[in-house]
Amino acid sequence: MRGLVAVIKRELVSYFITPVAYVFIVIFLAMNGVFTFNIGGFYERGLADLEPFFSFHPWMYLFLIPAISMRLWAEERRVGTVELLLTLPISTWSAALGKYLAAWIFAGIALALTVPVWITVNWLGEPDNGVILASYVGSFLMAGAFLAIGACVSAATKSQVIAFVVSVVICFLFLAAGLPAVTDFFSGWAPDIVIDTVTSFSFLAHFDAITKGVIDVRDLVFFASLAGAALAANVLIIEQRKVA
C-alpha cells in the first residue's frame, strides 16, 4: 500500500516537474473551448446544456490520452529505470496500478479545470446539472479506459512514439466499434452476434448513454472491466518483457 502511494506520488510529481503537464492542460482546455464554442455552436443552439462540450471528449481523448500514457512504461524501459523500480519491495501490480492511477488523477485534474464551462452555462440559463455531473463522471471513466489501454501498450515498447501511435489506433477501434466504418467490415458475412458483440465494445455508445444523464451499471461495469483487463495485460507484459 505504501509502495502504491509512493509510486502514485512520484508519477504525479514527474508530470508537473516537466513541461508535459502544463502543455497538456493548456491544449486540452484550448481545444475544449474551440470545440464547444466554435465548432459545437454552444451559443447558436440556444440551449442551456453542455452537450457540445462533452460530445467532443471522446475524439479529444483519442489523441490526448495516449500522449499522457505513452511515457508510463516506455520511458522506464528505455532508460532502464524499470530495473530500479521493480527491484524495490513492491509488487508489479502496485507499480502498474500506481502509474495508472497517477495518470488517471492527472487526467482528472485537467478535466476538473473545465469547470468554468459548467459555471458559465449555469450563469446563462438553467441547465440540468444532474446530466452534466453524470457526463463528467462518464468522461472521467472513459479517460480511465483509454489510459489503461495506453499504459498497456506503453509497457510493450521502449519507444514513446510507437506507444503513442499504437495506442491511438487501438483506442480508435474501441471508440468507433459501433460506427459503420467498423460494423460494415463485419456485416454481410459475420453472424449478428459477432456484430452485436463488436458494437457493444463501442466507447461512443457507452459514453452517449451516460451523457444522457442515466448512469447505468452496465456502462460503469463496461469501462471498469475494460480498464481492469488492460491493467492485467499490462502487468503480464511487464513480467514477460523485462529482458529486452
Cβ-contact 72, 150 below 8 angstroms? yes
Is 221 a binding residue for other proteins by CB under 8 A? The answer is no
Distance in Å, CB of 186 to other proteins, minimum: 38
Minimum CB distance to other proteins smaller for 2 or for 218: 2
CB of 96 to other proteins, least distance (A): 14
Among 91, 129, 187, 225, binds other proteins (CB under 8 A): 91
Q: Which of 48, 88, 105, 115 binds other proteins (CB under 8 A)?
A: 88
Any contact of residue 13 with other proteins (CB under 8 A)?
Answer: yes
Does residue number 23 form part of the binding site for other proteins (CB under 8 A)?
Answer: no
3-class DSSP state of 78: helix
Q: Distance of CA 18 to CAs 36, 42, 171, Å?
A: 29, 34, 26
Q: With binding defined as CB under 8 A, does residue 26 bind other proteins?
A: no
Query: What residue has cell string 471513466?
Result: 141
- Burial-class residue 90 by CB neighbours within 10 Å (0-12, 13-18, 19+): middle
Is 178 exposed, middle or buried (CB count within 10 Å of its CB: 0-12, 13-18, 19+)?
buried
Q: Which lies closer to other proteins via its Cβ, residue 79 or residue 169?
A: 79
Q: Which of 38, 81, 122, 197 binds other proteins (CB under 8 A)?
A: 81
Is the distance from CB of 183 to CB of 195 less than 8 angstroms?
yes
- Examine residue 105 and tell whether it contacts other proteins (CB under 8 A): no
- Stretch of 82-90, 103-111, 135-143, 222-230 contacting other proteins, by CB under 8 A: 82-90
How far apart, in whole angstroms, are the C-alpha atoms of residue 41 and residue 152? 36
For other proteins, the closer CB: 3 or 33: 3
> How many helices (H) and strands (E) in the chain?
15, 0
Contacts with other proteins by CB under 8 A lie at 2-3, 5-7, 9-10, 13-14, 17-18, 79-81, 83-84, 86-91, 242-243
